Amino acid sequence: MLKAVFFDLDGTLLDTVPDIQACVNLALAKFGCPPISYEQTCSYVGDGAKLLIERALPQGSPDLDACYEFFRKEFAADSSERTRLYPDEMQVLRALKERGLRLAVVTNKPQDAAERVLAKFFPADLFDFIGGDTGMFPCKPDPSLARYGALKLRVSPAECAFVGDGETDARVAVNAGMFGVSVLWGYRTREQLEQAGAATFAGNYLQLQKILEKFS
């Protein structure tokens, strides 16, 4: 029986790629590098900000650390102007909460950026745990942060679902011993998710609600 649901952030709770792309391209321009497209940004996100910048820069660029720090500062200053919720999302999250499920976020986004954007779009009492990249735990698909979140919520991993749009989310669900649900409204295709081991899929938030309520 499910007692808690963990969510990825980018591409799962919020459509953040337009803002990410804008900040990445600002950083690339600062260091004289060509911009990346929306499609490239979608394929680069999900594994942490440092790896995002590494993928966006020309191979072997000596400017990785400086470009990353510039990106972090710009993203902190203005990171949600173009960010949007997904259809039916808020009503589904409220319904899950009213059902007694604990809601949590585990993301490879830096902790400060995650807390800031979640505070803008969601009520303060909606999420019981927010875990981002602080340097304390390895990034997903390592299960350490997800397991730590379960510990903080006083539930076992087997009593948790992990919902996300990326390969890392499908893998962290397996690695953490959680029930994985891969969503198809984010930045990866069903085929990419299946190759990462995903077996349960939701095409929209209403479908996700039905899946989670079936096991709670």
Catalytic residue positions, numbered = 8
How many residues are recorded in the chain? 216
List phi, psi (to 5°) of 85: -75, 165
| Long-range contacts from 180-187, C-beta under 8 angstroms, 24+ separation | 181/208, 181/211, 181/212, 183/11, 183/12, 183/208, 185/11, 185/86, 186/8, 186/10, 186/11, 186/12, 187/10, 187/11, 187/17, 187/42, 187/43, 187/45, 187/46
First to last CA, the chain: 5
Q: Answer whether the bond into residue 143 is a cis peptide, omega within 30°.
A: no
Q: Please check whether residue 141 is in contact with residue 168, taking contact to mean a CB–CB distance below 8 angstroms.
A: yes
Amino acid at 163: V
